[in-house]
Amino acid sequence: MKYQAVIFDLDGVICHTDKYHYLAWKQMADDLDIYFDEEINNRLRGVSRMESLEIILEGSSRTFSDAEKEKLAAEKNERYVNLLGEMSAADLSSEVWETLEQLRGKGLKLAIGSSSRNAKLILERLGLKDYFEAVSDGTNIAKSKPNPEVFLKAAEFLHIEPDKCLVVEDARAGIEAAKNGGFDSAGMGEASASKDVTYAISSFGDLLKIV
C-alpha cells in the first residue's frame, strides 16, 4: 500500500461549516458598515482568522489598531462558536462516515490538518471527538496554509513520513501546502483544479479508488 495515513482538512472536506463562518463574518462586517459578500468570503477559504479579518478590513476606509483587530477577531469567533451550537452528528454525511470507516478498515491511520482553532469543538459536535489518531489545528501551528506546518505536525503526531501520507483538501492553498510539505494530495471542489494536486476527485468516496 502506497499510503499509511490520510490527513484531512476539516471545513469543506469532513463537514461544511462555511455557512457559519459566512454568517459570523457578515454580522461583523455589517456592524462596521463594510461590504461583504460570497465572493469576498471565498477569499477566506483555508486562511487564518487574522488573515481573513485583514481581507475584510480592506473594504473599510479607516485603519484599525492591533488591539481593535484582536477584539474584532475574538467577537467573530464568539459568534461562530455560538452558531456551531446548531451543528450535530446529523451534519456528517453518510458518504463521509462510510468512507472513513472503510479507510480505517484498510489499516490506514486518519488525522485532521486544519487551520481552524475550533477543530476539536467541531469534531465533538459531529460525534468524532476521539475518532482520529491525530488532530493538528490552529492551536498548535504558527503559520497558515500554504505553509505546510499543519500537515507536517499531523504527520509528526502520527509518526509517519509525509511521502506516506495523503492530504485531502478543498482549497487551493491547502493543495499548495501539501506540495510544499512533500505530501501527495487529493483535491475536491476548487482544489481539484489546482495545478499542484496529485489526484482530482469529484466526491469524498472517490478516496477509496486512490488508496
Region 95-101: what's the mean pLDDT?
Answer: 97
129-145 pLDDT, tens digit each: 999 999 999 999 999 89
C-alpha pair distances (Å), 183 with each of 13, 175, 191: 17, 9, 15
Q: What is the pTM of this model?
A: 0.86
141-193 pLDDT, tens digit each: 999 899 999 999 999 999 999 999 999 999 999 999 999 999 999 999 999 99
155-167 in b/e burial notation, b at 16+ Cβ within 10 A?
Answer: bebbebebebbbb
CA–CA separation, 106 vs 102, rounded Å?
A: 6
Catalytic residues: 9, 11
Domains of the chain plus CATH, in order, are 5-15+89-210 (3.40.50.1000), 18-84 (1.10.150.240)
